Amino acid sequence: MNALPFLSRRSLRVKVMQVLFAHQHEKETDYARLERRLFSSIRDTGRAFLYQFLLLVEIADSVEREALIRQAKHLPTEADLNFSRRFYSHQMAIALRADDSFRKLMEREKLNLLLDKDVVRLAWTHLKTLPEYSEYLLSDEGDWASDRRIAQALFEQVLWLSDDVEQHLEDVFPSWDEDLDMIIPRVLHSLKNWEPGQPGPWSGDCLELPHESREFVRLLLRLSLERGEELEALVSPRLANWELERVSLMDRVLLRMALAELLYFDTIPIKVSINEYIDIAKMYSTPRSKDFINGLLDTIMQSLREEGRIKKQGRGLVE
């Protein structure tokens, strides 16, 4: 898998949006500090992504711990004698335990220190009650399809639904609420695409952004800030009877970013940029924002084309 598989281009745009939105409230003027905040935020999202896999292996290890406790009983019950270690042998858990790069990454980022034994115990107790878990125990050991399904059930029905786990994740990752819409799809994507014997989503230094992505977010942040007045000047005349100040702050931030991308990112197709910001507006702004932003960008784009200010390079970049 490529470096930083947990963040798509859309997610990177969202991270820039979050920093710009906070900037509008705080009036931070130090660009270098804002850039550091952006990259720190991206890294924290990556750490939260990796932590999901650490929880998986810790819960799998709970199976072995319980098995040893049951074995040590002086008078084991039938349930003790028939206790299944099946989930301990989950192939992703085996791969994680054996992967030295994963262990070093957990130590370097101090993610092991965030673990809460009670939360792990509660998650394991909940997992055992799922019908999917009973079905899993009947599957053949080494069946990757079954391993994939039970891992998905663990995430979707236990870790991401439990109030206790949610509180824990919010405690150790303060931006969890803001980031879960980015992290959850990427975890599920990793489960779907990872195969035994292949490098997993934790391989290498996956917390480092590829150069192209670093330059993309850095430039998008800088242009949205430094050319903010110029970009908003394109919006104001097209607001009819509205004043720019009456437009929601989130919509103003998204419009500024979209226009910066349309004007100054020569290799990103126009349709891609517009669709991305419409979709982000659906998720993070008001119910009417997507239509508002779509209509404004369409109108502004027509004028910019007529003025010859859109300079896209390559086939398929200009409609």
pLDDT in tens, 147-166: 999 999 999 999 999 999 99
Only one residue has tokens 């419409």, namely 278
Q: Can you tell me the distance from the alpha carbon of 235 to that of 23, in angstroms, rounded to the nearest whole number?
A: 20
Top mean pLDDT of 262-266, 288-292, 307-311 is at 262-266
Chain centroid to Cα 84, Å, comes to 34
- Give residue 72's pLDDT: 92
- Give residue 83's pLDDT: 94
For residue 211, give Cα distances in angstroms to 41, 45, 73, 132, 273. Answer: 17, 18, 56, 42, 20
Q: Can you tell me the distance from the alpha carbon of 232 to that of 228, in angstroms, rounded to the nearest whole number?
A: 6
Summarize the confidence of residues 56-71 as an average pLDDT.
Answer: 96
Summarize the confidence of residues 117-143 as an average pLDDT.
Answer: 94
pLDDT tens track for 84-103 = 999 999 999 999 999 898 99
Report whether pLDDT(182) > 50. Answer: yes
Summarize the confidence of residues 265-291 as an average pLDDT.
Answer: 92
The DSSP secondary-structure symbol of 155 reads I
Give rounded-to-5 percent helix, strand, coil for the chain. Answer: 70, 0, 30
Only one residue has tokens 């931070």, namely 28
Only one residue has tokens 């270690």, namely 85
SS3 of 76, please?
Answer: coil
Q: Can you tell me the distance from the alpha carbon of 33 to that of 225, in angstroms, rounded to the nearest whole number?
A: 13
Report whether pLDDT(177) > 60. Answer: yes
**In 143-288, which ranges are continuous DSSP H helix?**
144-153, 163-172, 176-193, 211-226, 228-235, 249-264, 270-284
Buried b or exposed e, range 232-256, using 16+ CB within 10 angstroms: eebbeeeeeeeeeeebeebbbbbbb
Q: CB–CB of 267/313 below 8 Å?
A: yes
Q: Can you tell me the distance from the alpha carbon of 147 to that of 28, in angstroms, rounded to the nearest whole number?
A: 47
Report whether pLDDT(281) > 80. Answer: yes
- Give residue 244's pLDDT: 61
Angle at 291 between CA 286 and CA 296, to 5 degrees: 110
- Give residue 69's pLDDT: 94
pLDDT tens track for 1-28 = 444 456 889 999 999 999 999 887 776 6
Largest CA distance in the chain: 86
Summarize the confidence of residues 190-217 as an average pLDDT.
Answer: 84
pLDDT level of residue 52 (50, 70, 90 thresholds)? very high
Query: Which residue from 2, 144, 120, 11 is spatially nearest to 57, judged by alpha carbons?
Result: 120
Tokens matching residue 169: 């994740």
Report whether pLDDT(114) > 50. Answer: yes
Q: Can you tell me the distance from the alpha carbon of 182 to that of 25, in angstroms, rounded to the nearest whole number?
A: 23
Q: Can you tell me the distance from the alpha carbon of 152 to that of 260, in angstroms, rounded to the nearest whole number?
A: 38
Q: Tell me the backbone φ, ψ of residue 138, rounded to 5 degrees.
A: -85, -10
SS3 of 285, please?
Answer: coil
- Give residue 4's pLDDT: 46
The DSSP secondary-structure symbol of 87 reads G
